[in-house]
């Protein structure tokens, strides 16, 4: 039996994971539940862990996993699956999916994704400052990606180097799947080419005639550049990780 706030937090985390592929930050959870401090979120998460609804992967940024949902939520989800129109409308927005490489028998959803049809995408190497995307393409490596993670358009994969996006759930060594394109909405995580020379993975914000490239780590500064110095090379649509 969950309290109202525990139930509300669990459903918020589950919905956030399904819509973005990443677990929410404590600040986002605090705002969603209209709490005044993060300590209340810590207590709620601990209670959900003790009851077997949530699992925390320690030593990883924002790594929450919903182990199970309350029975009433499962029933509602089954009813919603029978009426797909709302889900189809939601699917038109951004959805960054995460497939974990922990293929234990209990992870039925991961196992199903692993058995799904797959395609080979070019793996351009580790995304790092000082290398244009054209230079990374020379590796010739490929990676197998479940077809279900991809929509329309051309895709490629990059390995992440560094921790500048860890608070968005993107960790050093992860493989990100990028949908190639030259446009992106504010707030989307993109591969940006700066001054025709430097490639970086950051959150994009447009501010008048300037572009802000935001890290997701308080130890790094946001870079604000003239719009003409920044070219979008693609946007994040999925993330692969092995544990």
List residues with catalytic annotation.
164, 202
DSSP classification of residue 17: H
In 10 A of CB 240, how many CB atoms? 20
CA distance 160 to 111: 24
In 10 A of CB 148, how many CB atoms? 14
CA distance 44 to 7: 9
CA within 13 Å, CB half, 196: 1
- Long-range (24+ apart) CB contacts under 8 A made by 101-107 are 101/240, 101/241, 101/242, 101/243, 102/242, 102/243
């Amino acid at each position: 039996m969950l309290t109202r706030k525990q139930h509300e937090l669990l459903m918020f985390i589950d919905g956030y994971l399904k819509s973005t592929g990443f677990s929410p930050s404590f600040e986002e959870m605090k705002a969603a539940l209209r709490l005044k401090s993060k300590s209340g979120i810590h207590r709620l998460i601990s209670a959900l862990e003790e009851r077997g609804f949530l699992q925390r992967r320690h030593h990883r940024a924002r790594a929450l996993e919903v182990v199970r949902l309350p029975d009433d939520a499962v029933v509602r989800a089954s009813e919603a699956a029978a009426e797909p129109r709302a889900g189809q409308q939601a699917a038109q927005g951004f959805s960054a999916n995460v497939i974990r490489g922990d293929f234990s028998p209990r992870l039925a959803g991961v196992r199903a994704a692993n058995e799904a049809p797959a395609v080979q995408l070019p793996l351009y190497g580790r995304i790092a400052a000082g290398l244009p995307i054209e230079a990374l393409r020379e590796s010739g490596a490929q990676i197998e990606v479940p077809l279900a993670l991809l929509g329309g358009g051309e895709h490629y994969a990059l390995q992440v180097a560094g921790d500048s996006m860890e608070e968005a759930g993107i960790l050093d060594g992860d493989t990100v799947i990028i949908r190639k394109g030259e446009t992106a909405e504010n707030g989307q995580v993109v591969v940006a080419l700066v001054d025709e020379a430097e490639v970086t993975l950051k959150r994009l914000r447009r501010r008048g005639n300037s572009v802000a490239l935001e890290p997701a780590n308080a130890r790094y500064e946001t870079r604000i550049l003239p719009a003409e110095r920044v070219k979008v090379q693609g946007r994040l649509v999925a993330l692969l990780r092995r544990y």
